[in-house]
Amino acid sequence: MAPMTSAGEEMHALVERLYPLCRSITGDGVRATLDIVGEYVPLQVHEVPTGTQVLDWTVPQEWNIRDAYVADGAGNRVVDFAASSLHVLGYSVPVARTMPLAELRAHLHTLPDRPSWVPYRTSYYKPEWGFCLAQDTLDALPEGDYEVRIDSTLKDGHLTYAEHVVPGRVPDEVIVSCHVCHPSLANDNLAGIAVATYLARALAEESPYYTYRFVYAPGTIGAITWLARNAERIERVKHGLVLACAGDSGQLTYKQSRRGDAEIDRVLRHVLAASERPHRVTEFTPYGYDERQYCSPGFDLGVGSLSRTPYAGYPEYHTSADNPDFVSPEAMTDTLAVCREAFGVLDRNRRYVNLSPYGEPQLGRRGLYDSLGGRSDAKQAQMAMLWVLSLSDGEHGLLDVAERSGLPFATVAAAADALHDAGLIKE
């Protein structure tokens, strides 16, 4: 794994590489995206046919687009899909017509309050067509006839998603999920894809306790499809995290699972507070990203969501201003660091039983005090041993110890290792 500083630059380069691709909930743009991600981590790609019943939904027809434009009477493309995939309403049906501007206006989408930005709009489940453009561009268009062309197909095909698994020492799983359906939007969600990918690479070097399953899927319908196809093994999923909006300059935001007291919730609250980073922890709401699918009451998984500025919380959200310049290597590095810290705690947060529970065991004759000699945190490490012994009753995990004692989790975990090696506690 590259050092964190270079990892930030590499993540940003991945965002820039993925940015031009036209993604949607289905289609070749998703496949091209996964092909590139597959150069960084091996992926198992799944193709689910149109018409497949997935929970209460049905896999839709596959959408692909080759070209689209609006051209004036002289043949000049005043709106051009080749310049940005945002210029076309997502899932637009094909059209080849000439019409006056007055008629065309009904199919044009702008942001009057941000006149130089192009909005992102879709019409996944209703046959429609349209273009997105800057209000400034629209205001400059003279009346007259315009050639309108959308060279797209909407036909039976497949929904595509992919998985990458980092094997752990136990089959219990942590899922890390990000959506791959947004077109040229850097923070939402190319930064999430990049952070997830580099997190997977980092975990592969650490021999983790849990098995980590990374899910790269289209938003909503992709997560629903994954859940439908994995319902029989869902009990293996013990924890999860949805990554989105991972690269802007805002403070970190953790949205708790529906349970609110899931272990992942406690871990993220602890890690963010202990790090002294500016951050927010918010309650669960059934709106947002795919945490709402994983947390739906039938599954009720302990899955939270980590972002920087949450969805719709920044003016650039779902506009052309969410470009690679809007995200930074430093912000993605910080998001990645928090993920690694959180999963480090999650992986190590296990329960122990004190094998010498009647009175305080003699630590000195076991060399445990001597091992602390010369350490600047010797007193803290000694207290951590005493706290671990006190709370190793089979009911409390190491995170409980850290929270109750106010000691750093890493110090508590090191104390548990020393006590375990000395035969005083067991898992």
Tokens 């004190």 -> residue: 354
136 is in an annotated binding site: no
List CB contacts of 284: < 8 A, sequence separation 6 or more.
255, 256, 257, 258, 259, 260, 291, 295
331: left (phi over 0), alpha (psi -120 to 50) or beta: alpha
Strands of the 62-71 sheet, one edge to the other:
77-80, 62-71, 145-155, 95-100
201, 237, 215, 229: which is closest to 163 by C-alpha? Answer: 215
- Alpha-carbon distances, residue 391 vs 262, 265, 384, 387 (angstroms): 20, 21, 11, 6
325 is in an annotated binding site: no
84, 72, 82: which is closest to 117 by C-alpha? Answer: 84
Distance of CA 310 to the CA centre of its chain: 12
Q: Give the containing element (helix H, strand E) for 386.
A: helix 378-391
Phi, psi of 381 (to 5 degrees): -65, -40
Judging by DSSP bridges, how do beta strands 252-255 and 279-282 pair with one another? parallel
235, 242, 245: which is closest to 216 by C-alpha? Answer: 242
Helix boundaries (H) for 71-212: 101-104, 135-139, 191-204
Tokens 């018409």 -> residue: 51
Distance of CA 314 to the CA centre of its chain: 18
Q: Are 148 and 104 in contact (CB under 8 A)?
A: yes
Judging by DSSP bridges, how do beta strands 351-354 and 425-426 pair with one another? antiparallel
318 is in an annotated binding site: yes
Strands of the 425-426 sheet, one edge to the other:
393-397, 351-354, 425-426
Q: Are 26 and 218 in contact (CB under 8 A)?
A: yes
Which residue ranges make up the annotated binding site for Zn(2+)? 182, 188, 318
Which residue ranges make up the annotated binding site? 182, 188, 318
